[in-house]
Chains A and B, each alone.
Chain A
Amino acid sequence: MQCDHCDNKATVFYTQIIDGISKKASLCEPCANKQGVTDPDGFLLGKDTAALGKPSAPKSVLQLETSMGKESTRSCPGCGFAFHDLKKTGRLGCSQCYEFFRKEIKNNLGGMHKGTSHTGRVPEGMLEAFAQRQRLESLQLGLDEAINSEDYEKAAALRDKISKLSEESPTLPEQPNQP
């Protein structure tokens, strides 16, 4: 059998089943290594459309790569990583990339994970700031709801709470510096 990617003989056969959808790939060893399928801790099949066959393939980084908008030509100020580099490397450039490409990344995380925001452990030094941020976010959510339902009295109270809390707020780590 021939490799899905080149003319070599396929020696690695990989089947992946996620949410009941199975994908198969037949690869030669160099291509398999390139795809990361030989890494036991490795990456999901579907980093490359050719190996996939079906465009309906759900949750994978593939979506991250294909759904990038025009903005993908921008580069991260921290490390010079451009979003389309993700197609080549499957990895981001630095932690600041998450800040810079937040929108693009977030748009695609849902299929990959159970949720889109962190609910696990927080490093000790960041606990206070993290809790604060969560309180603010939940107030903001309440405010949006109040405005939508035209409950302006409630909205005003919430707005005051938010501004009071923001003033007291300790310096938050990794504040977004909007591009």
Chain B
Amino acid sequence: MMRFSTLMKHPADWMTGADADSAIVLTSRIRLARNVAGSPFPGWARKEERIEILPVLREKVEAIPEMKDAFSHQLSELSSVQKQVLVERHLISREQAARSEGSAIVVNRNQTLSVMINEEDHLRLQSIRSGLHLREAYDLIAKLDEELEQMLPYAFDHELGYLTACPTNVGTGLRASAMLHLPGLVISDHIGQVIQAVAKLGLAVRGIFGEGTESLGHLFQISNQSTLGESEDDIINRLERVIQRVKEQERNARIKLIEDDPQMIADKISRAYGLLKYAYVIDSKEALTHLSLIRLGSDMGCFARETIRLCDSLLMDIEPAHLQHMAGRKLSPEERDTMRAKIIRSRLQNLKPPVISFITDQSSSNNPYPDTPPSA
């Protein structure tokens, strides 16, 4: 069985931006909610009932070929920091992290598939891919689902489809989502319109690291709300079309920023570079905002292309539980801010200063008096 330390040492490809085209869409995720007939949903079940059904479910999940030598643990075997690390890696939900006995997590070796057992539903099957690949992610998880349905009597209704603890998931039990990096739309102040338009189509837009009005690190998650009355294909196709559209708008916003105000964007990127490289105390919000600008700069050619991957691993590694896991002990917020700054400085050590190629001499950066013709 895979150990926690192994899981930590080898982050999944999707966590570090493996896809060549992950500059705007970082990851695609599919989740299926499934329950077994004849047993109460985990939230309503008595503790003994949860404990009783857990080994039955876990044995079947572990028996699937894709889950060979998986990371498989009861939540009660994990420390609170370890659970939080798994949340920060999107492998378990916050709801599951709050559970202990009678709940388990099974993650395949390359961390592309995870199965939460006795979370809100008996089974939550999840698949994550780098870039915009919802279809691929679905195909992977559908295979897992097909293997499980041979072994377990799913709770299924002729009219309502797959039955789930919460009526908002009933039907396909499918939640498809993608994580998008949208600094162009945020800086150009068009993000509000885009969110409104997406929401009008019945899709949800959320921030990634906080549920405030402003999303941290310019990261947004778009997902379907409706799970009933549409086929899996319809849901995925609709979402993919919308995300493709948002991606184009972000692309255009970035081009327009460079055309309209190259000084401003060069200033933001360069300041972010300076700040991250020389800060000794930095909180999560500030770090994410500036890392977002470095990420944007990499896409605009200011830094080497691989810098995007560097940013993506940093985004994860500077989160509170990751820091505490690295330190091997609980850290106060002040200690975390210091350690966060230290890690960022060391990771960015070899990052060369930004090359601002989109400011040409014509755009007068070198001539402080554009109206005065240079003397002959």
Contact = CB atoms under 8 A, between A and B. Distances in A.
B20 interface: no
Contact of A119 (B31, B93, B195, B229): B229
B165 interface: yes
B156 A173 contact: yes
B149 A40 contact: no
Contacts, number: 170
A92 interface: yes
B76 interface: no
Interface of B: 31, 35, 37-41, 43-44, 93-95, 120, 142, 146, 149-150, 154-163, 165-168, 170-172, 174-175, 195-196, 199-200, 202, 204-206, 208, 211-213, 221, 225-232, 234
B170 A98 contact: yes
B41 A91 contact: yes
A20 B94 CA distance: 28
A126 to B, nearest CB: 6
Contacts of B44: 79, 81, 89, 91-94
B83 to A, nearest CB: 14
A91 B225 CA distance: 16
A18 to B, nearest CB: 6
Nearest to A15: B213
A17 B195 contact: yes
A17 B199 contact: yes
Given A19-B202, A91-B165, A118 B226 contact: no
B221 A174 contact: no
Nearest to A41: B93
Nearest to A21: B199
A61 B41 contact: no
A118 B93 contact: no
Given A39-B94, A43-B166, A61-B167, A92 B230 contact: no
A120 B199 contact: no
B158 A93 contact: no
Contacts of A109: 160, 167, 170, 228
Chain A's interface: helix, strand, loop or mixed, by majority?
loop
A120 B33 CA distance: 14
A113 B149 contact: no
A13 B230 contact: no
Given A95-B157, A116-B229, A118-B158, 14 more contacts: A17-B195, A17-B205, A37-B211, A38-B211, A39-B94, A109-B228, A112-B167, A117-B229, A118-B228, A119-B234, A120-B230, A120-B232, A123-B149, A174-B158
Interface string A40-75: 111110000000000000000100100000000000
A38 to B, nearest CB: 6
B212 A113 contact: no
Chain B CB count within 10 A is highest, among A12, A14, A37, A105, for A14
A118 B253 CA distance: 39
A173 to B, nearest CB: 7
Given A79-B44, A119-B229, A173-B156, A113 B171 contact: yes
B41 A124 contact: no
B168 A41 contact: no
B167 A14 contact: no
8 nearest interchain CB pairs?
Answer: A115-B229, A118-B161, A95-B155, A113-B228, A114-B229, A120-B172, A93-B44, A17-B199
Contacts of A133: 158
A160 B173 CA distance: 37
Contacts of B160: 98, 105-106, 109, 117-118
A99 interface: yes
A119 B120 contact: no
Nearest to A117: B159
A121 interface: yes
B212 A14 contact: yes
B154 A43 contact: no
